[in-house]
Amino acid sequence: MTKATLKQLSQQLAAGAVSGVELATQYLDRIEALNPQLNAVITVDRAKTLAEAAAADSARAAGTAGPLAGVPILHKDIFCQQGWKTSCGSRMLDNFISPYDAHVVEQCRAAGLVTLGRANMDEFAMGSSNENSFYGPVKNPWDLNAIPGGSSGGSAAAVAARLAPVATATDTGGSIRQPASHCGVTGIKPTYGVVSRYGMVAFASSLDQGGPIAQTAEDCALMLNVMAGFDERDSTSLERDKEDYTRQLDRPLNGLRVGLPREYFAAGLDADVARIVDEAVSELKKQGAQVVEVSLPNTELSIPAYYVIAPAEASTNLSRYDGVRYGHRAAEYKDLVDMYEKTRAEGFGDEVKRRILVGSYVLSHGYYDAYYLKAQKIRRLIANDFTAAFEQCDVILGPVAPTAAFNLGQLSSDPVQMYLSDIYTLSVNLAGLPGMSVPAGFDRNGRPVGLQIIGNYFSEATMLNVAHQFQLATDWHSRAPAL
């Protein structure tokens, strides 16, 4: 039963073929058996999970349960969850038991989803390989020598290994789409403002956005119905009418205009990834989609702009970790400043420190205009590129990353090379657009490759429609690694 999709599990629970407690037990047993080789899950609490499952079963028996009640879910360790350790992959929060729930967690709880545990991640969501976690790297279930992608590597690897039918995740520069691509699962980052950031540990507030990772587009649509919604506690949460993200899934693709940005198929793209994206485009053409070439001329500038804006915002957000109110505090210090400096030197890992230092520099007196303001102007140019492109097409397709998953340790000592691998995902966050990754094939080494679908603002239902129709005609999403 652990191979089933969210949709199938929901149907089996409704039919009484399985109980929430039975399902939770099966998944917990699978995590216990397989997680030691993957390190995708960093906290489990069998008693808490089974109590949630029993409550979901009671709600079903009483007829008060929603359709997803009793379905297990794994939460990325970035979402605060009352009574659970919420470490964000950092030593700084290794002792932090959250006293409250994130909005996303509240929504999942209200839907009756059962918490299986907490997913590993790059520290404070900073990384593209999951090698920056205080709890050690996550292994890619398709190849234990490969990275799973990051920062939501634990979420993606767990869904790929069928340790959970669905996981929450976040995406600041590609952290849902890139690990989903590298692990052969489906993930969507909604339009900025659709999912509340309340209780989601902040990295770069103008870019961070939560979303689901699951096996299928249909499951992602069902999960987005749970996760999305206005929340007044997040000042950038958008007041919009509740949407049913499944409403367009069955629509034929006849007449859909698909844009291919020429900059996404230029030098630097691996030949296998290019072929896989081409084949996916051909499949959609077969279903009646029309292909148009579009241009996103400022794509390359997304890397410098992002690596100014994200560290700048991170340096201010992470100033809260001062050893006073929660989290790590150094054992010995001579005065207040010494306590801050030692606490932060001990609590943060190397990549987090680097980004805080870059951010502190670009925001420091005399440099603001040359860096942060300049990057914000380039951000506007990038958003304008997309606005122009969406006058000619309904969705944009392309690769998620230049290559399939690279090897563990391959880029970990070279941050700049790692940053360059984010080329196709960063601009989507800078513009605030929705983006998703859909399994589309395997490279010469048997590592999964995803197709990226980028939509206009609030066009998640259209993107999910494209992905669902693609998945009705292909079986990449239903392949699972041998473990």
Q: Which amino acid does the sequence have at 132?
A: N
Environment class of 304 (CB within 10 Å of its CB; exposed 0-12, middle 13-18, buried 19+): middle
To which residue do tokens 């880029």 refer? 411
Instruction: Return the residue of 145, 295, 360, 407 that touches other proteins, per CB under 8 A.
Output: 360
User: Do residues 286 and 180 lie in contact, with contact meaning Cβ atoms separated by under 8 Å?
Assistant: no
Contacts of other proteins in 423-482 (CB under 8 A):
430-433, 457
What binding mask, one character per residue, do residues 266-305 give for other proteins by CB under 8 A, x or -? ----------------------------------xx-xxx
Shortest approach of other proteins to residue 417 CB, angstroms? 9
Contacts of other proteins in 214-253 (CB under 8 A):
232, 235-236, 238-239
With residue 209 as reference, give the H or E element that holds it: strand 209-214
Exactly one of 90, 128, 151, 181 is catalytic; which is it? 151
User: Do residues 189 and 434 lie in contact, with contact meaning Cβ atoms separated by under 8 Å?
Assistant: yes
What binding mask, one character per residue, do residues 167-206 give for other proteins by CB under 8 A, x or -? ------------------------xxx------------x
Give the residue ranges of DSSP H helices in 318-454.
336-347, 350-362, 374-389, 415-420, 426-431
Stretch that binds other proteins, among 153-161, 266-274, 343-351, 461-469 (CB under 8 A): 343-351
Give the whole-angstrom CA distance, residue 473 versus residue 372: 45
What binding mask, one character per residue, do residues 307-326 give for other proteins by CB under 8 A, x or -? xx------x---x--xxxxx
Instruction: Return the residue of 15, 47, 337, 482 that touches other proteins, per CB under 8 A.
Output: 337
Shortest approach of other proteins to residue 332 CB, angstroms? 11
Shortest approach of other proteins to residue 136 CB, angstroms? 22
Query: Closest CB to other proteins among 67 and 297?
Result: 297
User: Do residues 418 and 151 lie in contact, with contact meaning Cβ atoms separated by under 8 Å?
Assistant: no
Give the whole-angstrom CA distance, residue 213 versus residue 179: 9
360 is catalytic: no
Q: Cα separations (Å) of 102 from 23, 84, 294, 352? A: 25, 12, 39, 23
Shortest approach of other proteins to residue 342 CB, angstroms? 6
Rule CB under 8 A: say whether 388 interacts with other proteins: no
151 is catalytic: yes
What binding mask, one character per residue, do residues 34-73 give for other proteins by CB under 8 A, x or -? ----------------------------------------
- Could you tell me where the beta strands, DSSP code E, fall in 221-354? 257-261, 290-294
By CB under 8 A, the count of residues binding other proteins is: 75
Give the whole-angstrom CA distance, residue 411 versus residue 399: 20
Shortest approach of other proteins to residue 48 CB, angstroms? 17
Contacts of other proteins in 87-106 (CB under 8 A):
95-97, 99-100
Exactly one of 7, 76, 189, 342 is catalytic; which is it? 76
Stretch that binds other proteins, among 180-188, 220-228, 339-347, 396-404 (CB under 8 A): 339-347
Shortest approach of other proteins to residue 429 CB, angstroms? 9
Exactly one of 128, 129, 175, 459 is catalytic; which is it? 175
Query: Closest CB to other proteins among 142 and 372?
Result: 372
Shortest approach of other proteins to residue 445 CB, angstroms? 28
Shortest approach of other proteins to residue 442 CB, angstroms? 31
Query: Closest CB to other proteins among 284 and 433?
Result: 433
Q: Cα separations (Å) of 161 from 37, 147, 177? A: 11, 14, 17
Give the whole-angstrom CA distance, residue 199 versus residue 298: 33
- Other CB atoms closer than 10 Å to residue 110's CB: what's the count? 11
| CA atoms within 13 A of residue 246's CA, in its CB half-sphere | 10
Query: Closest CB to other proteins among 276 and 310?
Result: 310
Instruction: Return the residue of 37, 110, 380, 445 that touches other proteins, per CB under 8 A.
Output: 380
175 is catalytic: yes
With residue 214 as reference, give the H or E element that holds it: strand 209-214
Residues 6+ apart with CB under 8 A from 157: 38, 40, 130, 138, 139, 140, 141, 148, 179, 183
User: Do residues 456 and 433 lie in contact, with contact meaning Cβ atoms separated by under 8 Å?
Assistant: yes
Supply the residues annotated as catalytic: 76, 151, 175
